[in-house]
Structure 1
Amino acid sequence: MKRLIIFVLLLSILNPVLSQRRVQRDTQPIRPQTSGEIAGGLGLSWFDGKPYYLLNISPELAFGKFGIGFDVNLRIGVNDGKIRSEDWNEFYDFLRAIRYVRYGLKGDPFYARIGALDYARLGHGTIIYYYKNNASYDDRKVGLEFDVDFGKFGFESVTSDLRRVGVFGVRGYVRPLKLTPAGEIPVIGNLELGATYATDFDKDALARYDSIQRKIVRDGKKPDIIGFDIGLPIIRTKIFGWDLYFDYVKFLNYGSGIAYGTIFDFKGLGILNINAKIERRNFGDQFLPSYFNYFYEIERFNLRDTVNATSKLIALQNAKKTAGTYGELIFTILGQLQVVGSYQQLDATPESGTLHFDLKIPQVLPTIVIDAGYDKVNIKDLRDAFKLDERSLLYAQVGYKPVKYIIVSMFYQWTFKPVRTDNGTKYEVQKRVEPRVSFVFPFGTK
């Protein structure tokens, strides 16, 4: 007991003012330093070998905490002179031209974003982490993130598609000691308890393989997930942060698992910021961590032929008891260059590697712009990690600024296009190549 008291006293010296709010690491793209930019350009697009002339208008505007982004693309066939029909064949396509509208940023006391979800997550990410609702360019959705932190309690939520609902998750949390005078005690006073519920209302989330009928049917048990978590900020200063956490997760119709780890934050006076996360995972049979992730929209159900398909639910049903380690590292230099990398590996499953990588260099070099992201699942070894195939997602843009407001660039994307059939959706690899000449005109300052 004496040692515990001394430990708490030492921490109180290191941490004189603990934040009243939940601390969340910012793994979203680097925050813009201006209040907006008007961007657009001319170029060429290739979709599966077919060329299109491209006219792009993509302004991003910010007014205080409000932000809005557009992505309007007119593609005219080089051979037939017709606008690409897949881009504008229903009313929903016009709505999706507004890429997102947001208020605040993830981790703020009030945060809302509607449209494209790029890095959606709940809590420590054991259920929903790095979820993207727009894994395919031709299957873009309008989703919603909505978080409110009242200090003593709050909630965060994710909805993947406001038209068809799809993935839905909500996490409520409370800081119980903040409801009492004990909330002023350093360290312990910031103890946070959370509870999460997540599911997928899409009918393809029920897909499974019927061995008797020898075909895919959609009568599986829904992947309803509940979770309980404990978080404790040990140190919270302007320069250094250290958190501990423990998560318990249960698929109501399947297995359960636990994850526990630590998060470190270092803020080096705007010169170098480092965020690190190391997590140990222990799972029972029929359990998968971060079930709703950046690959989920492709993994949910992908029809290969009339009796053959891949399904996230099938993978869940076949998952065996195991343990593994997850690590994540984020570098931000001078508030500009940002590198995000994460990797998971299960102990007893060689083909279980999961990689996420982001590189953003918007202004470090005055004339060079680089933006790239790469995701891959079911990695066998290091050689397999960077092989592009049906387990990969990739985008990369490299540009040169001959003058201040013009960028000459090449954009490449390896993604998937949905092909609708009577039996379901088949996702095929889609290669998107676009040489661009763009103008970018920033205005205002924060």
Structure 2
Amino acid sequence: MKKITLFLFITITAFQFTKAQNNNVESAFKSAFDEDNVFNANIGLTNIDGQNYFGMRIQPEFSFGKFGLGLDIPLLFDIENGQIRKEEFNHGAGILRMIRFFRYGDKNTDPIYVKVGDLSGERLGFGSLIGNYTNATSFERRKVGISASILIKKIAGLEIIYSDLNFDGSSKMLGLRPFVKPFGRTEIPIIKTIEIGASFVSDNDDYQEEGAQQITTKYSSDGVKAMSFDLGLSLVRTNLLNLRLDAQYSKLSKNNLLAADNPTANYGAGNGFAIGLETDFRFIANTVLLNARIERQWYGDNYIAQFFNFAYEINKDARIRELLTATKSQGIFGTLSAEILKTIKIGGSLLLPDNIDSNDPNSRGAIVGLDLETKQIGKFKARGTYVKAGLNDLGDAFTLDNRSLANIIVTYKMGRFMEAGVDYQWTFAADENGNFLARNQVRPYFGISVDF
């Protein structure tokens, strides 16, 4: 009898505690970096692949309640002939590229979320198909995409990711994930957080710039299709700790044109399975916010976890061809990020197959990523991202080549509204002829920076 009484007491206490905390648990983990209001306008010399330009960039970023807006308006002039540089607007979404992002709501907390523009960091569901994704692989060819989600009456919802609003050619990468929270309207701890979803991803992109010498959408134009099923729930959900568990099964369909071009290859549909554990943790008074995810993955033949990641948009055909040599294996995916004193935000990610082999060019490569963002520390401020894929030797993780994307900005405050800085970018993307080249840009500048 005493054991039963004790059990009921603990259950009721936990129920009341969880109910009291649920109203504020999501806002407890909200990043201080999501609420910045700043107007930047800088002028300086820009060197792009050895060619010098002089001009300015206007880069305001605002947040009003649930709304967020970031712009990037370039005005660069060729030093040799004085002509304005138009390359950033000549193709694809054109002038829409000035919208770096427009956002309404928060994908993880609000019933309605919409983001237009740069989709870096987006994932669909728990990320087995679309994960660690970006549509901004090139500063010159950055795309304008859409990510949205809606949750109706806490029970049924839909996630959407569309990679590129360039409507030339066939449809670009489209991801859909309908999901249900069958007990979402109840107040039962843990049970109310159960979420069941199914993801469908397709790409029929056949867009090639006129005069391109290298075809990069031959296989994607034939159709890339994938699907997955997932189940997730929160094991602990309080103001200090949010611990979630999920499981995912995914399948990549066979690309018929790739199979026809490689009749002797052992190639067909591939599938994979993953179990993940993710946690948010905060110390009292938000001195430190932590997010960590660890995921154990099982790969079948012709399957690549997070197939639609940052490398997909660089060269779709090259990414699809990787499936030919992908063999059965296992691996680990992990991420860790920390926000310290609402001033420094740093994170890293690693996708590491078990059978990585520096002597075998066909072994599954690792992927490494780093992110850094700071607010004003003394007179300095910094922001940067770095990712590299296809690593068969982790000792090569931080050398820049055609598998790398990097951008870092360091600024120095010269006065109340004035600053000087350096903007460095390394991207790998197609030029006007469709040839893939490293794009190296260095831009020292000075300008105006006003925080609201």
* Structure 1 and Structure 2 fold alike (TM over 0.5): yes
In the alignment, what sits opposite 2:57?
56
Spell out, residue by residue over 1:376-428, the C-alpha distance to the aligned partner (whole angstroms, 9 max, x if none): 0112333201111111111111111021222211111001242244xxx3221
In the alignment, what sits opposite 2:328?
321
Inter-partner Cα distance in structure 2 for 1:22 and 1:13: 14
In the alignment, what sits opposite 1:306?
none
In the alignment, what sits opposite 2:416?
404
- In structure 2, relative to structure 1, the CA distance for the partners of 1:198 and 1:410 (3 Å cut) is same
Inter-partner Cα distance in structure 2 for 1:12 and 1:225: 40
Paired AA for residue 426 in structure 1: N
Give the count of matched residue pairs. Answer: 414
Report the CA distance between 1:345 and its aligned residue: 0.8
Query: Whose strand proportion is higher, 1 or 2?
Result: 1
Give me the identity figure in percent.
31
In the alignment, what sits opposite 1:256?
271
Spell out, residue by residue over 1:278-330, the C-alpha distance to the aligned partner (whole angstroms, 9 max, x if none): 110001101011111122111313xxxxxxxxx11110232100000111101
Q: Normalized against structure 1, the TM-score is what? A: 0.85
Inter-partner Cα distance in structure 2 for 1:219 and 1:73: 32
- 3-state SS in 2 of match to 1:312: helix
Inter-partner Cα distance in structure 1 for 2:321 and 2:422: 38
Contact 2:123 2:131 in 1 (8 A): yes
Inter-partner Cα distance in structure 1 for 2:450 and 2:246: 43
Inter-partner Cα distance in structure 2 for 1:160 and 1:402: 39
Within the alignment, does 1:277 sit opposite 2:293 as a pair? yes
Inter-partner Cα distance in structure 1 for 2:139 and 2:291: 30
Within the alignment, does 1:360 sit opposite 2:355 as a pair? no
Contact 2:114 2:147 in 1 (8 A): yes
Q: 1:406-425 counterparts in 2 under 5 A?
A: 406-421=418-433, 425=434
In the alignment, what sits opposite 2:87?
86
Within the alignment, does 1:427 sit opposite 2:436 as a pair? yes
Within the alignment, does 1:299 sit opposite 2:315 as a pair? yes
- 3-state SS in 2 of match to 1:329: strand
In the alignment, what sits opposite 1:175?
181
- In structure 2, relative to structure 1, the CA distance for the partners of 1:29 and 1:23 (3 Å cut) is closer
User: What 5-or-longer segments of structure 1 have no aligned partner?
Assistant: 206-214, 302-310
Q: Normalized against structure 2, the TM-score is what? A: 0.84
Report the CA distance between 1:230 and its aligned residue: 0.6
- 3-state SS in 1 of match to 2:351: strand
1:203 is aligned, of 197, 203, 206, to 206
Inter-partner Cα distance in structure 2 for 1:19 and 1:419: 50
Paired AA for residue 184 in structure 2: K
Inter-partner Cα distance in structure 2 for 1:176 and 1:337: 38
Inter-partner Cα distance in structure 1 for 2:27 and 2:332: 21
Spell out, residue by residue over 1:183-241, the C-alpha distance to the aligned partner (whole angstroms, 9 max, x if none): 33221232111111112221379xxxxxxxxx995488632111111101010000111
Moved more, 76-85 or 277-286: 76-85
Inter-partner Cα distance in structure 2 for 1:145 and 1:288: 23
Inter-partner Cα distance in structure 2 for 1:71 and 1:196: 32
Within the alignment, does 1:226 sit opposite 2:227 as a pair? yes
In the alignment, what sits opposite 1:162?
165
Spell out, residue by residue over 1:240-288, the C-alpha distance to the aligned partner (whole angstroms, 9 max, x if none): 1111110011113311100102111111121001111111000110101
Contact 1:18 1:186 in 2 (8 A): no
Contact 1:324 1:347 in 2 (8 A): yes
Inter-partner Cα distance in structure 1 for 2:327 and 2:23: 40
2:119 is aligned, of 117, 120, 124, to 117
In the alignment, what sits opposite 1:130?
132
Inter-partner Cα distance in structure 1 for 2:402 and 2:148: 32
Report the CA distance between 1:372 and its aligned residue: 1.1
Contact 2:347 2:372 in 1 (8 A): yes
Within the alignment, does 1:331 sit opposite 2:344 as a pair? no
Inter-partner Cα distance in structure 2 for 1:348 and 1:90: 41
In the alignment, what sits opposite 1:304?
none
Paired AA for residue 266 in structure 1: F
- 3-state SS in 2 of match to 1:313: helix
Inter-partner Cα distance in structure 2 for 1:386 and 1:198: 31
1:287 is aligned, of 299, 303, 314, to 303
Inter-partner Cα distance in structure 1 for 2:27 and 2:158: 13
In the alignment, what sits opposite 1:209?
none
User: What 5-or-longer segments of structure 2 have no aligned partner?
Assistant: 209-215, 255-268, 359-364
Inter-partner Cα distance in structure 1 for 2:235 and 2:307: 28
Inter-partner Cα distance in structure 1 for 2:287 and 2:314: 38
- 3-state SS in 2 of match to 1:350: coil
Spell out, residue by residue over 1:159-186, the C-alpha distance to the aligned partner (whole angstroms, 9 max, x if none): 011223411101111111336xxx3322
Inter-partner Cα distance in structure 1 for 2:111 and 2:145: 20
Inter-partner Cα distance in structure 2 for 1:260 and 1:91: 38
- In structure 2, relative to structure 1, the CA distance for the partners of 1:413 and 1:63 (3 Å cut) is same
Inter-partner Cα distance in structure 2 for 1:24 and 1:290: 28
1:188 is aligned, of 183, 188, 191, to 191
CA RMSD of the aligned region, Å?
A: 2.9
Inter-partner Cα distance in structure 2 for 1:328 and 1:277: 5
- In structure 2, relative to structure 1, the CA distance for the partners of 1:296 and 1:29 (3 Å cut) is farther
